[in-house]
Amino acid sequence: MAENESRTDIGSIRIANEVVGVIAGLAAIEVEGVAGMSGGIVGGIVELLGRKNLSKGVKVEVGEREAAVDLSIVVTYGAIIPEVAYKVQSNVRKAIASMTGLDVVEVNVNVLGVSFPQEDKAEPEQQPRVK
């Protein structure tokens, strides 16, 4: 596991890649229009991941002072995809920089699907077949 380590006067500070990944995942799902993170395409189906798996769908590379992030997201139907992606990039960059002090050199957003609203499909009343 690669880690970001810096030395201070009284010791060292290490930030694991997984920590940066969770920060990025949280920052991404805060953006309006993001339905969830995606674990990838498995058998042609995009798997939506909940809050338990925030580092899934996130790939990070952390150096001594810089980080690069790749995100896979699913957007809500009706959202303007380029605007959502830009807001995700901005929010992720700000969150990582403020929480870790790392300079985020790139945030790549991959939109892997669109989430449609769930309709309440009430079963139609069935007429009795016999009287």
pTM attached to this predicted model: 0.76
Q: What is the pLDDT of residues 70-104, one digit of tens each?
A: 999 999 999 999 999 999 999 999 999 999 999 99
What integer is the mean pLDDT of 26-32?
94
Residue 45: which pLDDT band, with cuts at 50, 70 and 90? very low
> Is pLDDT larger for residue 8 or for residue 104?
104
Structure tokens at 98: 């403020």
* Domain-located, residue 120: no
Q: In CATH, what number is assigned to the domain containing residue 77?
A: 3.30.70.1350
Domain assignment of residue 76, given as a range: 3-115
Contact, 74 vs 35, CB < 8 A? yes
* Domain-located, residue 122: no
Task: Look at residue 5 in the predicted model and tell me its pLDDT.
Answer: 64
Task: Look at residue 122 in the predicted model and tell me its pLDDT.
Answer: 56
Mean pLDDT value across the chain: 83
Indicate the number of domains in the chain: 1
Q: Quick one: DSSP state of residue 76?
A: E
